[in-house]
Structure 1
Amino acid sequence: MQIVAYLRVSTARQGASGLGLEAQRAAVQGFAAAGGHTIVAELVEVESGSKADRPQLAAALAMCRLHRATLVIAKLDRLARNVAFIANLMDGGVEFVACDMPHANRLTLHLLAAIAEHEREMISQRTKAALAAAKARGVKLGNPMGAGHLKAGAKYAASLSVARRADKVRSNDLAVAGIIAELSAAEHSNDVAIARGLNERGVPSPRGMVWSRGQVARTITRLASYAEPCTVR
């Protein structure tokens, strides 16, 4: 079968360093190799598992519908630690597989999601309790220097943020490059026609909304500037 790989880390630092991503990528690639499956796209998200707003996940689901592919993740908690989110996804018409439990049925996935959600809540409660206990002992929380200690790393953090946004834009562009190329090859093709074609196929725009002529034009311009071939693998 054809599969779309979805990788997620919780922090920008993990995303920039590759920490956690390589292990997830290896798990998905191992699953694909063992089953003779083809990876048609890979999308990476840097976001907390408690948040439901996932532009890269939305793009991954759109790719699954387009290619009639299966969404594959390394571990269930990489998808979400939220029971309602998992339930809605399971009812969304896209099949998905967790490499750590590839033969799990719908009931098992609900139970695992419930456990992951409970674990997230317990971590939050333990953190709050530890901070409250420290404060009761007279420990001064926070950095005594205030924001002063951030100055040295502010410039680096800003550049890291810019790089992260650029990587996210590039990932979005490459995910739709093949579809745009196909629509561009059609007779009488223009930016309006390409936008209409993307919307008809259910491919979300970079912001998770419908495509406009301007968004198509900007995406094509960026694709032309990338050094590597702009095709969805």
Structure 2
Amino acid sequence: MDVVAYIRVSTGKQEASGLGLEAQLDYIQTAANQQGWNIVATYSDTISGSVAPEERPQMALALSHGLPIVAAKLDRFSRDVEHMAGLMKRVQVKVATMPTADNFQLHLFAALAEQERTFIRQRVKDALEALQARADNGCVESVAKIERRTEALQKGRKGNVLVMSEVKAEKVKEHQAKLAPFVMAALYKGASTLQALADVLNAQALFTSRGGEWSPTTVRRLMLALDVTFKKA
């Protein structure tokens, strides 16, 4: 059976370091060998699991194959029951760590995962409220803990934004480079307008870096990035 592999990490820092990527690939490849799956393509998103699968750029490309999609673990798809239900309506979902599970079983596991996430959030919330209460009552150590946590969160947000921006820019460049031969071939064959070139790319199911269809505006940006122009009459 032909399948598409899907990998997801939450931050650009994790992707840049390879943290989690190799492990996910190993899980998927092991399951594929055991189940006789043929992996025809692999897609990887660097994005929070809170984003619906259909709204992720690389997942959109994975869905375009119309084949079963395999992830290493269920939470690589989503921890949200509603998201999982929506995804399973569109495509057959496979999980490497439980390759024989059907949609009903996967739905149950997703429900349990969502419940556990709710419990964890509540425990963290209760712990932070207790810490804040001690700080309000004059506990010097609690005040220091809150200050350190706030500082760490601020640094983390800034660092993640920078790393994710760099990773995103690099992936866009790689995607544009892969499209270059198709653009040059279309120009050679006589495509002479932005819309004509967009039609050629769309007809070949060559999506934008965000997984969408081409328009004159996105084609213009691509041509500028590739430094190519239409042939003069």
Instruction: Give the TM-score of the pair, scaled to structure 1.
Output: 0.73
Amino acid at match of 2:10: S
Mind listing any 5+ residue stretches in structure 1 that lack a counterpart? 225-233
1:5 corresponds to which residue? 5
Q: SS in structure 1 opposite 2:85?
A: helix
1:169 corresponds to which residue? 172
Q: Contact between 2:12 and 2:160, CA under 8 Å: does it hold in 1?
A: no
Amino acid at match of 2:195: V
Q: Contact between 2:8 and 2:44, CA under 8 Å: does it hold in 1?
A: yes
2:127 equivalent among 113, 126, 130: 130
1:34 to partner: Cα distance: 3.3
Q: SS in structure 1 opposite 2:99?
A: coil
Cα shift readout 1:28-58 (whole Å, capped 9, x = no counterpart): 1222333443322222112222221422212
Cα shift readout 1:121-150 (whole Å, capped 9, x = no counterpart): 122111111111111122225436976997
1:88 corresponds to which residue? 86
Counting only pairs closer than 5 Å after superposition, residues 104-143 of structure 1 correspond to structure 2 as 104-138=101-135, 139-140=142-143, 142-143=146-147
Amino acid at match of 2:147: N
Cα shift readout 1:68-120 (whole Å, capped 9, x = no counterpart): x221100111100111111111111x222111111111210110111111122
Mind listing any 5+ residue stretches in structure 2 that lack a counterpart? 136-141, 228-233
Amino acid at match of 2:34: A
2:77 equivalent among 58, 76, 79: 79
Partners of 2:73 and 2:214 lie apart in 1 by 32
1:192 aligns with 2:185: no
Counting only pairs closer than 5 Å after superposition, residues 18-33 of structure 1 correspond to structure 2 as 18-33=18-33
Q: Contact between 2:9 and 2:45, CA under 8 Å: does it hold in 1?
A: yes
Q: Contact between 2:3 and 2:38, CA under 8 Å: does it hold in 1?
A: yes
Distance 1:104 1:135, change over 3 A: same
Distance 1:85 1:12, change over 3 A: same
1:60 equivalent among 62, 81, 95: 62
Aligned residues: 216
Counting only pairs closer than 5 Å after superposition, residues 150-165 of structure 1 correspond to structure 2 as 160-165=163-168
2:37 corresponds to which residue? 37
Distance 1:223 1:95, change over 3 A: farther
Q: Contact between 1:5 and 1:41, CA under 8 Å: does it hold in 2?
A: yes
Greater Cα radius of gyration, structure 1 or 2: 2
1:26 to partner: Cα distance: 1.0
Amino acid at match of 1:29: Q
1:16 aligns with 2:16: yes
> CA RMSD of the aligned region, Å?
3.7
Partners of 1:111 and 1:223 lie apart in 2 by 48
Q: SS in structure 2 opposite 1:100?
A: coil
1:203 to partner: Cα distance: 6.3
1:229 corresponds to which residue? none
Partners of 1:116 and 1:104 lie apart in 2 by 15
Partners of 2:38 and 2:176 lie apart in 1 by 21
Partners of 1:26 and 1:91 lie apart in 2 by 27
Q: Contact between 2:31 and 2:97, CA under 8 Å: does it hold in 1?
A: no
1:228 corresponds to which residue? none
Greater RCO structure (CA 8 Å; 6+ sep)? 1
Q: SS in structure 2 opposite 1:102?
A: coil
1:212 equivalent among 205, 210, 215: 215
1:97 corresponds to which residue? 94
